[in-house]
Chain A
Amino acid sequence: EAEVAQSPRYKITEKSQAVAFWCDPISGHATLYWYRQILGQGPELLVQFQDESVVDDSQLPKDRFSAERLKGVDSTLKIQPAELGDSAMYLCASSLPVNTEAFFGQGTRLTVV
């Protein structure tokens, strides 16, 4: 069964360090999302891609976060420098365009110490 792949599953980093997460969406899914989920809350959309183009990054803290999807397939989300408040689950999802459900990966649990 096709699924969204994310790595790593867990990451511990010291504050002020750089960290990167990788996502490989389901084949053929043009839309890719990165969400951040703080414990006890719902996922918050950080950035949305349509193929290689950013559709929405209004909630992405651009002073420290960056996201790319250079070939319109897999994507990388980077944080530099990491802060304590960045500790959260980072979820990647993909979907076919236009009103279809998004399929989520298992997420990367980030702990900043």
Chain B
Amino acid sequence: GESVGLHLPTLSVQEGDNSIINCAYSNSASDYFIWYKQESGKGPQFIIDIRSNMDKRQGQRVTVLLNKTVKHLSLQIAATQPGDSAVYFCAENKGRDDKIIFGKGTRLHILP
């Protein structure tokens, strides 16, 4: 069925290193993808998005890569900081109906 999922439930990264969080999607009709960060007890917070006509998009310390051939999405966080500790979700928007569907999430742990 249609789904957005993540390869790893948890990821531990040394402070200062780069983090890479992966996501696989199965619906080739999805044309818009979003990464959200969720801290404990709070609502998801928008990080960065990418449309299907792009392969890469950069923000402040974050980069999203989209590989439509293998239906894979990744979030790269440069110089990971303690404040980056959270659960990260990828989500897909299926365009015309604007339905935003979330994957299961990856918890990012920052090691001192």
Task: List 11 extra interface pairs beyond A55-B97, A104-B36, CB under 8 A.
Answer: A31-B98, A41-B104, A41-B105, A42-B104, A44-B102, A45-B99, A56-B99, A95-B98, A95-B100, A101-B49, A103-B46
- Whether B46 lies near A101 (C-beta < 8 A) is yes
Interface of A, secondary structure class, is strand
B residues at A contact (CB < 8 Å): 31-32, 34, 36, 41-46, 49, 51, 89, 93, 95, 97-105
- Whether A55 lies near B98 (C-beta < 8 A) is yes
Q: Which residues of the partner chain B approach A42 to less than 8 Å between Cβ atoms? A: 89, 102-105
Say whether A97 faces chain B, with CB atoms less than 8 Å apart.
Answer: yes
Most A Cβ at <10 Å: residue of B51, B89, B101, B102: B102
The residues in A between 78 and 111 inclusive whose CB is less than 8 angstroms from any CB of B are: 91, 93, 95, 97-99, 101-107, 109
Write the nearest CB–CB distance from A9 to chain B, whole angstroms.
9
Name the one of B31, B42, B97, B100 contacting A102, with C-beta atoms under 8 angstroms. Answer: B100
- Whether B31 lies near A105 (C-beta < 8 A) is no
Say whether A48 faces chain B, with CB atoms less than 8 Å apart.
Answer: yes
- Whether B46 lies near A45 (C-beta < 8 A) is no
Name the one of B31, B41, B44, B104 contacting A99, with C-beta atoms under 8 angstroms. Answer: B31
